[in-house]
Amino acid sequence: MAPRIAVVGGGIAGLGFALHLHQLGLACEVYESVPEVRELGVGITLLPHGMRELAALGLQDALEAAGIENLESVFFNRFGQYIYREPRGRHAGYPMPEVGIHRGKLHKILFDAALKRLGAAHIHTNHRCTGVSQSAQGAQVHFVQHSDGASLPSVQADVVIACDGIHSAVRRQYYPDEKLAFAGINTWRGVTRHKPILTGKSYMRVGSIKTSKMVIYPIVDNIDRQGNQLINWMAEIEGNSRDMNDWNTGGKADDFIHIFKDWQFDWLDVPALIRNADQVLQYPMVDKDPVAQWTFGCVTLMGDAAHPMYPRGSNGSAQALIDARILAKELATQSDPLAALQAYETQRREQTARIVQTNRSVPPDFINIKVDELAGDKPFRHIDDVISQAELREISESYKKIAGFSLEVVKA
């Protein structure tokens, strides 16, 4: 008899998992907290190993049509000087593209696919999970309406998969004293209508976290039918205090634009990019320390509820999608669903813990940090006077190997 599977959270992890289960002939019920799924947020990059998972769900064409395929990743110092360039995705020999896309469009594509394949009766919105209780008969998942806090009937399930994000109510039940790990880095994110920058398919990292940093890439092409793109950008600033940004407060350009006032390069006016944003959001750069256990009886954690990591390298979504595929396969092939949960955790927990730690210590923009250190945070005559391209390539390839998207691994 197939297990009754409750999926708490209808984000990237939860919907990816539900779609994998459907492909494998297993049913589930998805419970999403928001009353209505809308295209909210800013940009996200789908790396080749993330696209591999989404392609397996038959979503690659829709995602490529909605986003922009990255041609290259380019690194600059805060003086606008070129450091390093590498091809990305298919242009680097991967079987899958690397795509910049609006997070809301990605979520809507996943949500619409789940509605179509699972059926609307199996997707429950306005269900905010408040906790899970267990007995010999399985689990009871408890909900209230997100819109007004009114109680909803509890749901009985054989297994519960918590995909409810970094603020997971289910994880908090097992780790009630856990705190967010904040290293003093605050971020502001925005989207700006702007003419194409560099190739129009370039992912740019400018500056380093030690002196201030921008990540910039396009997510929508020809947004106004006048050739402008929707450019996603994120400013990262390391402060001396431990005061965090507030998730619930809209961002203001005036709070940080002064840090970038001199960033006017021949290839981009950064202050103008910030000032002309359609929307600015602010977030603290946080993750959580890896934990020793994800699975508690018939409940397990997935995605950001299991391994919240810094939003660096665009790896959080890819790891969530890998979680989804592996757990779905285990549940489809094992007769004991509890054993399937344990097998999933065994395969994923230590690997994702390494990525969490790497994103803290040697992030993908470590290239910029290294160059800043060697150059003394000053302009250089030529990057080869500071460090060789071969050394920079090795830094980049090392991160890809740890994060699981080296060319060899994705091809295999």
Is a pLDDT exceeding 90 seen at residue 67? yes
Residues in the chain: 412
| Number of neighbouring beta carbons within 10 Å of residue 407 | 15
Q: Which of 72-81, 255-264, 277-286 has the lowest mean pLDDT?
A: 277-286
- What pLDDT score was predicted for residue 313? 66
Task: Name the strands in the sheet holding 99-102, side by side, starting at the edge strand that comes first in the sequence.
Answer: 43-46, 99-102, 68-69
Considering the domain delimited by 5-69+96-179+289-361, tell me its CATH architecture: 3-Layer(bba) Sandwich (3.50)
- What pLDDT score was predicted for residue 169? 96
- Average pLDDT of the segment spanning 60-80: 97
Which parts of 119-226 fold into alpha helices (H)? 169-174
DSSP type of residue 222: S
Is a pLDDT exceeding 90 seen at residue 80? yes
- The phi and psi torsions of 391 (rounded to 5 degrees) equal -65, -40
The domains of the chain are located at 5-69+96-179+289-361
Is a pLDDT exceeding 90 seen at residue 347? yes
- What pLDDT score was predicted for residue 363? 73
Residues 13 and 169 sit within 8 Å (Cβ to Cβ): no
User: Which long-range CB contacts under 8 A does 372-375 form with residues at least 24 apart?
Assistant: 372/77, 372/78, 372/208, 372/210, 372/211, 375/77
- What pLDDT score was predicted for residue 106? 95
Is a pLDDT exceeding 90 seen at residue 148? yes
DSSP 3-state of 380 = coil
- What pLDDT score was predicted for residue 242? 67
pLDDT in tens, 299-310: 999 999 999 998
- What pLDDT score was predicted for residue 220? 95
- Average pLDDT of the segment spanning 240-259: 79
- What pLDDT score was predicted for residue 240? 67
- Average pLDDT of the segment spanning 327-334: 97
Both tokens of 167, joined, read 């603020």
- What pLDDT score was predicted for residue 241? 65
Q: Which residues are 238's β-sheet partners?
A: 185
Both tokens of 390, joined, read 């071969």
Both tokens of 281, joined, read 């959001």
pLDDT in tens, 175-233: 999 998 887 888 999 999 999 999 999 999 999 987 889 999 999 999 998 999 999 99
pLDDT band at 272 (very low <50, low <70, confident <90, very high): very high
Is a pLDDT exceeding 70 seen at residue 137? yes
Both tokens of 80, joined, read 């606008």
Regarding predicted confidence, which is higher, 122 or 411?
A: 122
Q: Over the chain, what is the mean pLDDT?
A: 93
Is a pLDDT exceeding 90 seen at residue 94? yes
